[in-house]
């Protein structure tokens, strides 16, 4: 198929129509644009951000960047349909969440994640992947290994941010790392920090999640209140709970680092500013790992990261409502719920 065969007409899509409502809908297939590639999504992973969009509590809705109806889907992989930019039809690709303009001063300085004209797939400014087709600029796609069929390829998206957090904080062999949270980000962090030679301990409230963390190489597992204070050279807050952010400041040793990856929306009380000064630690806000897609694909391909072990359920697109319910009612253990979109 060449770019001359770009399909036209209507396509199926899943949309959030208002707080609590997921519907199957029909949309025009996006029209060709120079430099873009049409992709058929295979699988879409759901995460806490999708749940916030469903509940109407996402920042993107409240500040007007997004609105209903909303085609979600930012963790996904698919197959190229009509190619441009060096891609061939049938190739497996993962799509980037953040799409930068390449022209603004921040992009010119190489800081694409803070592009002034940023749009984000499935969040604001760019239709999500919970649809029969998605059109993206070629620069927002990364090739997956030939023969990819695995649903867990959707995990490349959360994993790029895990790579960013451990890169920016320089996680390595002399670190004792605490990972708060046993969701997708937390469990990928345990795996990658172990690979980088650090000693890793898991902190969480789900016994099955803590057990999984131990399987991935965590040498101890604690409930938040039981974890040793001032003991860790690096603390990664991956739970997204405001209380856990506060707790991470008790756990980090003097002069250590705290990487905040979970997006906690509730205000934090009881914060003592002087503790930052006397503790001499660095707190890193980890926005996204936009520059790590290729490397992250390699980490899965070489089995450094185990994606299959994180998958809780694979649900057909037609049962999207059921998939959101699974997400909503909090599962124990394996964290990832994935929608099957049909493009595999
Ligand atoms: Zn996500
Ligand atoms: Zn830009």
DSSP track, 282-322: EEEE----GGGHHHHHHHHHTTSS--GGGEEEEEEGGGHHH
Residue 95 in domain? yes
Ligand number nearest to the C-alpha of 110: 2
Q: Give Cα separations from 84 to 80, 138, 241 (angstroms).
A: 9, 7, 42
- Rounded to whole angstroms, how far apart are CA atoms 134 and 127? 7
What is the Å distance from ligand 2's center to 140 Cα? 13
Mean pLDDT across 43-70: 93
- pLDDT for the residue 2: 47
Asked if pLDDT for residue 331 goes beyond 80, the answer is no
What is the Å distance from ligand 1's center to 255 Cα? 31
Structurally, how many domains does the chain consist of?
A: 2
Asked if pLDDT for residue 3 goes beyond 90, the answer is no
Q: Do 77 and 143 sit in the same domain of this protein?
A: yes
Residue 146 in domain? yes
Alpha helix ranges (H) inside the chain: 48-55, 59-62, 105-108, 156-168, 184-195, 207-215, 242-251, 273-279, 293-301, 320-328
Is this model's pTM higher than 0.85 or not? Answer: yes
- Rounded to whole angstroms, how far apart are CA atoms 120 and 99? 6
Residue 294 in domain? no
What is the Å distance from ligand 1's center to 3 Cα? 31
- pLDDT for the residue 286: 96
The DSSP symbol for 101 reads: -
Q: Do 105 and 30 sit in the same domain of this protein?
A: yes
Ligand number nearest to the C-alpha of 112: 2
Q: Do 75 and 121 sit in the same domain of this protein?
A: yes
- pLDDT for the residue 4: 52
Ligand number nearest to the C-alpha of 118: 2
- pLDDT for the residue 134: 98
With a CB cutoff of 8 Å and minimum separation 6, the contacts of 30 are 38, 127, 133, 134, 135
CATH number of the domain within which 138 lies: 3.90.180.10
Quick check: 150 and 308 in contact, CB under 8 A? Answer: yes
CA angle 321, 327, 333 (to 5 degrees): 140
CATH number of the domain within which 251 lies: 3.40.50.720
Q: Do 146 and 163 sit in the same domain of this protein?
A: no
Half-sphere exposure of 9 (CA within 13 A, CB side): 5
What is the Å distance from ligand 1's center to 297 Cα? 17
Residue 311 in domain? yes
Choose the final residue of a domain: 285, 315, 332: 285
Quick check: 203 and 191 in contact, CB under 8 A? Answer: no
- Rounded to whole angstroms, how far apart are CA atoms 253 and 82? 52
Q: Do 175 and 37 sit in the same domain of this protein?
A: no
Asked if pLDDT for residue 192 goes beyond 60, the answer is yes
Q: Do 144 and 185 sit in the same domain of this protein?
A: no
Structural domain boundaries, residue 193: 159-285
Q: Do 273 and 178 sit in the same domain of this protein?
A: yes
What secondary structure does DSSP assign to 172-220, as a single string? -TT-EEEEE--SHHHHHHHHHHHHTT-EEEEE-S-HHHHHHHHHTT-SE
Residue 104 in domain? yes
Ligand number nearest to the C-alpha of 154: 1
Q: Do 52 and 133 sit in the same domain of this protein?
A: yes
Nearest alpha carbon to residue 184 among 45, 11, 343? 45
Mean pLDDT of the chain: 95
Q: Do 207 and 258 sit in the same domain of this protein?
A: yes
- pLDDT for the residue 83: 76
Mean pLDDT across 70-86: 93
Quick check: 249 and 256 in contact, CB under 8 A? Answer: no
Q: What is the pLDDT of residues 114-150, one digit of tens each?
A: 999 999 999 999 999 999 999 999 999 999 999 999 9
Mean pLDDT across 292-299: 97
**CA distance between the termini of the chain:** 17
What is the Å distance from ligand 2's center to 109 Cα? 9
What is the Å distance from ligand 1's center to 5 Cα? 32
Query: Would you mind telling me the total number of residues written for the chain in this entry?
Result: 344
Q: Do 131 and 17 sit in the same domain of this protein?
A: yes
Q: Do 37 and 111 sit in the same domain of this protein?
A: yes
Q: Do 8 and 141 sit in the same domain of this protein?
A: yes
Ligand number nearest to the C-alpha of 113: 2
Residue 213 in domain? yes
């Amino acid at each position: 198929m060449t770019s001359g065969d770009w399909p036209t007409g209507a396509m199926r899509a899943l949309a959030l129509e208002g707080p609590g409502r997921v519907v199957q809908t029909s949309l025009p297939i996006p029209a060709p644009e120079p430099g873009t590639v049409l992709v058929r999504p295979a699988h879409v992973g759901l995460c806490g951000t999708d749940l916030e969009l469903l509940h109407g509590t996402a920042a993107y809705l409240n500040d007007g960047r997004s609105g209903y109806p909303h085609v979600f889907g930012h963790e996904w992989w698919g197959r190229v349909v009509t190619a441009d930019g060096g891609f061939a039809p049938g190739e497996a690709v993962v799509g980037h969440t953040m799409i930068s303009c390449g022209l603004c001063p921040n992009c010119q300085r190489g800081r694409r994640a803070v592009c002034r004209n940023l749009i984000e797939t499935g969040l604001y400014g760019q239709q999500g992947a919970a649809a029969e087709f998605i059109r993206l600029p070629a620069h927002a796609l990364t090739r997956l290994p030939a023969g990819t069929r695995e649903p867990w390829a959707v995990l490349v998206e959360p994993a790029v941010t895990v790579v960013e957090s451990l890169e920016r904080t320089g996680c390595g062999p002399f670190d004792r790392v605490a990972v708060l949270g046993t969701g997708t980000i937390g469990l990928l962090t345990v795996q990658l920090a172990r690979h980088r030679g650090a000693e890793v301990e898991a902190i969480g409230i789900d016994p099955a999640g803590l057990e999984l963390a131990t399987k991935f190489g965590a040498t101890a597992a604690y409930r938040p209140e039981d974890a040793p204070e001032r003991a860790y050279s690096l603390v990664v807050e991956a739970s997204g709970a405001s209380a856990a952010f506060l707790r991470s400041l008790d756990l980090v040793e003097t002069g250590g680092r705290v990487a905040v990856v979970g997006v906690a929306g509730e205000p934090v009380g009881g914060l003592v500013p002087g503790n930052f000064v006397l503790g001499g630690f660095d707190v890193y806000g980890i926005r996204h790992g936009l520059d790590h897609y290729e490397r992250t694909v390699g980490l899965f391909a070489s089995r450094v990261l185990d994606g299959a072990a994180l998958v809780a359920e694979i649900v057909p697109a037609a049962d999207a409502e059921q998939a959101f319910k699974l997400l909503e009612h909090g599962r124990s253990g394996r964290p990832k719920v994935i929608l099957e979109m049909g493009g595999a």
